[in-house]
Amino acid sequence: MATVSMSWSLPTINNSSPSHLRRPNRLHSVMTSASLKKEISGVGVRVTEGQGNLPKVVLSSPHGSEAELYLFGGCVTSWKVANKDLLFVRPDAVFNGQKPISGGAPHCFPQFGPGPIQQHGFARNMNWSVVDSDDVEGNPVVTIELKDGPYSRSMWDFSFQAIYKVILDAKSLSTELVITNTDKIPFSFSTALHTYFHAAVTGASVRGLRGCKTLNKDPDPKNPLVGKEERDVVTFPGFVDCVYLEAPDELLLDNGLGDKISIKNSNWTDAVLWNPYLQMEACYKDFVCVENAKIEKVQLDPEQSWTATQLLSLV
Ligand SMILES: O=P(O)(O)OC[C@H]1O[C@H](O)[C@H](O)[C@@H](O)[C@@H]1O
């Protein structure tokens, strides 16, 4: 296991009970944007209609940064600092409430990659709901929730709750994911935040992975090659699809566009780098995926929770 260091922490909203248990602004999963608009209360948090008429939460910080999150998939699709979007949504992304949104930071849950259920699980194509919105020292915060329903039960027959808190600061975006077993029997899952960063692929690089055990899915995703990363600076010279086990709690992405982004985490023990190269000829030059992941399954007994945090900051 990688050592988890909490050199930073998510601010706690001023309330006595744990954030994942509080529901001051409890909303329902099936609702119109109009009803959401009335109930959202945090400063700098508003709900609007996004592409495909899907409800979209917009976070605006007093420092001028902005983030957008679709309730479909619980997917942060945009994080802008000084009007520059540091995330990327693929041009082939669809916003139809059926297919996952291909871009931003989709959730892979309860399975990363291929396996017994659909690729990357179902959390990225279900409707999440807003349970809380607030501001911490002026920074907008939104908390959303996903629970099991007939659709998830049809492929993964467990009762669960996922709570995802997103906080925008001047130059950072932090998230906290809490998965709770609300069933009467244990379950296990793998998960990831499949973040697409806007990049110039030829100039992009990631530092911090040297020494990690690798599972290289190129050339055969079903039989990954086990290896060890020897490079200080990992680049994207062609097709890249590689899992890094027990990655450190901070990586540094140079997006090749003049920005350096620190990617810190707690409890996301693994990382994945992905660029599809010529498989996506129309857009591969414009992004790289640097994913915080939990590849080895987390086992949760009834009432147990697993929490992981991520802090993206422009340095
Ligand atoms: O096309 P998607 O289902 O969104 O998956 C896109 C990619 O996600 C991850 O990075 C996996 O490691 C890749 O093997 C996969 O191709």
pLDDT digits (tens, 9 = 90+) for 124-176: 999 999 999 999 889 999 999 999 999 999 999 999 999 999 999 999 999 99
What's this model's pTM, rounded to 2 decimal places?
0.89
pLDDT(25) > 90: no
State the chain's maximal CA–CA distance in angstroms. 53
pLDDT digits (tens, 9 = 90+) for 225-237: 999 999 999 999 9
CA geometry: angle 36, 61, 248, nearest 5 deg? 100
284 Cβ below 6 A of ligand 1:
no
Question: 16 or 313: whose pLDDT is higher?
Answer: 313
For ligand 1, what atom is nearest to the CA of residue 291? Answer: 10
165 Cβ below 6 A of ligand 1:
no
Cβ atoms of 275 and 88 within 8 Å: the answer is no
Confidence of residue 41 (pLDDT cuts 50, 70, 90): low
CA atoms 33, 38, 42, 48: torsion sign:
positive
The ipTM of this complex is 0.92
Query: Separation of 253 CA from ligand 1 center, angstroms?
Result: 19
Cβ atoms of 152 and 267 within 8 Å: the answer is no
Strand order in the sheet with 129-136: 129-136, 139-147, 160-168, 172-181, 305-314, 260-266, 250-254, 205-207, 233-235
pLDDT at residue 16, as a whole number = 29
pLDDT digits (tens, 9 = 90+) for 63-94: 999 999 999 999 999 999 999 999 999 999 99
pLDDT(191) > 70: yes
Query: Separation of 248 CA from ligand 1 center, angstroms?
Result: 22
Confidence of residue 38 (pLDDT cuts 50, 70, 90): very low
Average pLDDT over residues 188-200: 98
Query: Separation of 221 CA from ligand 1 center, angstroms?
Result: 10
User: Residue 33: phi, psi to the nearest 5?
Assistant: -60, -30
Instruction: Give, for ligand 1, the residue of 108, 274, 288, 294 to mutate: max count of ligand atoms closer than 8 Å to Cβ.
Output: 274
For ligand 1, what atom is nearest to the CA of residue 243? Answer: 12
Task: Find how far residue 166's CA is from the centre of its chain.
Answer: 10
Query: Separation of 119 CA from ligand 1 center, angstroms?
Result: 8
113 Cβ below 6 A of ligand 1:
yes
The residue contributing the CA closest to ligand 1 atom 10 is 274
